[in-house]
Amino acid sequence: MSWSTIKFSKYKGKTLPEVILIDLDWFYWALPKLYGKLEAEAQDLAMKIRAIKIPGPDRKKLEVEYWYERDDRFRGFTFVKASSAQHSKWSTRLPHLDLSRCLRRQYDKRGGRILLRDFRKHYFGDRKRLTKKRCEKFFSDRSNFIGA
């Protein structure tokens, strides 16, 4: 897929897949303001980031466990066996990754950074740099998403 380049803002020259993995907060802020081809791409990405498959061959046996502070701020996520006990009463589970989980009540900028940190670690590896090519390749591959 060929991604459109943003022609405004501090992300001028970047594509939406790059921006999502740099600044999820900006993506959600810009989403209702976009139009044309960029709007169509953003709507497609907004659906994709809510239904990301768990990586690896054991994905059907795993769930994503999201952790929250007592004040509902996002603390991180990991993959756990679906049959295991839940970590705490301040956690939730889903059978897929949802990058909008930091939006429980209102957007949590710190939580967004933590979510992206964990996403990079689990999907690209600790030491991998998220290049434009890697970001675009991930979001172009429909097999990474449920129902895409």
Report the pLDDT value the prediction gives residue 108, as an integer from 0 to 100.
75
Residue 144 pLDDT: 97
- Tokens representing 118 are 């964990």
Which pLDDT tens digit goes with each residue over 72-128?
888 999 999 999 987 778 899 999 999 988 765 566 788 888 999 999 999 999 878
The reported pLDDT for the residue numbered 89 is: 82
Burial class of residue 60, CB neighbours in 10 A (0-12, 13-18, 19+): exposed
Phi, psi dihedrals of residue 63, rounded to the nearest 5°: -135, 160
Pairing of strands 62-68, 91-94: antiparallel
Q: How confident is the model at residue 71 (pLDDT cuts 50, 70, 90)?
A: confident
Please choose, from the candidates 19, 83, 116, the residue with its C-alpha nearest in 3D space to the C-alpha of residue 124: 116
Instruction: Residue 2: count other Cβ atoms within 10 Å of its Cβ.
Output: 8
pLDDT digits (tens, 9 = 90+) for 22-59: 998 899 889 999 999 999 999 999 999 999 999 999 89
Q: How far from chain centre, in Å, is Cα 129?
A: 16
Q: 22: which residues sit within 8 A by CB, 6+ positions away? A: 11, 14, 116, 130
- The answer, yes or no, to whether residue 147 has pLDDT greater than 90, is no
